Chain A
Amino acid sequence: DAGVIQSPRHEVTEMGQEVTLRCKPISGHNSLFWYRQTMMRGLELLIYFNNNVPIDDSGMPEDRFSAKMPNASFSTLKIQPSEPRDSAVYFCASSLRRAAGTSGGVPYNEQFFGPGTRLTVL
């Protein structure tokens, strides 16, 4: 398995431009997470999906941020318009969320992270 795939790996853009980050989770995983990593705030969970449905988006900083998961193998995180303070590394992660009580099942399973997208907004 190729693991979680993110694109682009690096993005440099000007303030005010729209930015779209993409993520392909590990095949068969049913939960997908978007994180932002900054020096000031560390690793923050922005939003996560279970079975393509957004469950908790309370970490999304403001209305300029939106995320979609149109199918089980693809998700996007969009920033429109982008601002310099959005500069960070954005990670996508996926996991297999097994039902409680299933064999070997931890209901909230380990997450596998993608390589991240380093975003710089000038």
Chain B
Amino acid sequence: ILNVEQSPQSLHVQEGDSTNFTCSFPSSNFYALHWYRWETAKSPEALFVMTLNGDEKKKGRISATLNTKEGYSYLYIKGSQPEDSATYLCAFKGTASKLTFGTGTRLQVTL
């Protein structure tokens, strides 16, 4: 069983705050790391797929970094808005393993 952990489990910030959370995954046999955004009552929406150590990806105010050697990825949100409220999931794909999701970080942004 692969260990894909996300922290914190939940986060409550105010509008305008910048925030970040972590996904930890096995540091061996890395193939790809996915980030998804999952709003309540909707289905997961892909944010990034990252494959190379040192990768940095950006989509609007959201960005992500990847360190495959130490087995972690950070997701950053700059200037959080209420519409950013969602659960952010990471998923790890190893060279010989299926895609395994973390349990997510639930973000709530209030005015």
A and B associate: yes
A109/B49 contact (C-beta < 8 A), A42-B101, A42-B103, A59-B98 known: yes
* Chain-A contact segment, one of B14-22, B40-48, B71-79: B40-48
Q: Which chain A residues lie closer than 8 Å to B45 at the CB level?
A: 113
Judged by DSSP, the binding face of B is strand
Q: Could you mark each residue 100-112 of chain A with 1 if its beta carbon is under 8 Å from any beta carbon of chain B, else 0?
A: 0000001111111
CB < 8 Å: which of B32, B100, B104 contacts A108? Answer: B32
Residue numbers in A under 8 Å from B43 (CB-CB):
91, 113-116
A112 interface neighbour in B46, B48, B89, B101, Cβ under 8 Å: B46
Chain A hits for B89, CB < 8 A: 43
Whether A108 touches B101, Cβ cut-off 8 Å, given contacts A43-B89, A113-B43, is no
For the complex formed, measure the closest distance between the CB of B19 and the CB atoms of chain A, giving whole angstroms.
21
Q: Are B44 and A43 in contact (CB under 8 A)?
A: yes
Instruction: Give the CA-CA distance A27 to B80 in the complex, in Å.
Output: 35
Asked if A48 lies at the interface with its beta carbon under 8 angstroms from chain B, I say: yes
- B7 adjacent to chain A (CB < 8 Å): no
- A residues near B109, Cβ cutoff 8 Å: none
The smallest C-beta distance from A23 to any residue of chain B, in angstroms, reads 12
Residues on A with C-beta less than 8 A from B42 are: 115
Q: Scan B18-51; emit 1 where CB is below 8 A from any A CB, else 0.
A: 0000000000000110100000001111101101
Q: Provide 12 A-B residue pairs closer than 8 Å at the C-beta atoms, listed in order of the A residue.
A: A42-B102, A42-B103, A45-B100, A45-B101, A58-B98, A59-B98, A107-B32, A107-B51, A108-B32, A110-B34, A114-B43, A116-B43
Interface residues of B (CB under 8 A from A): 31-32, 34, 42-46, 48-49, 51, 89, 93, 98-104
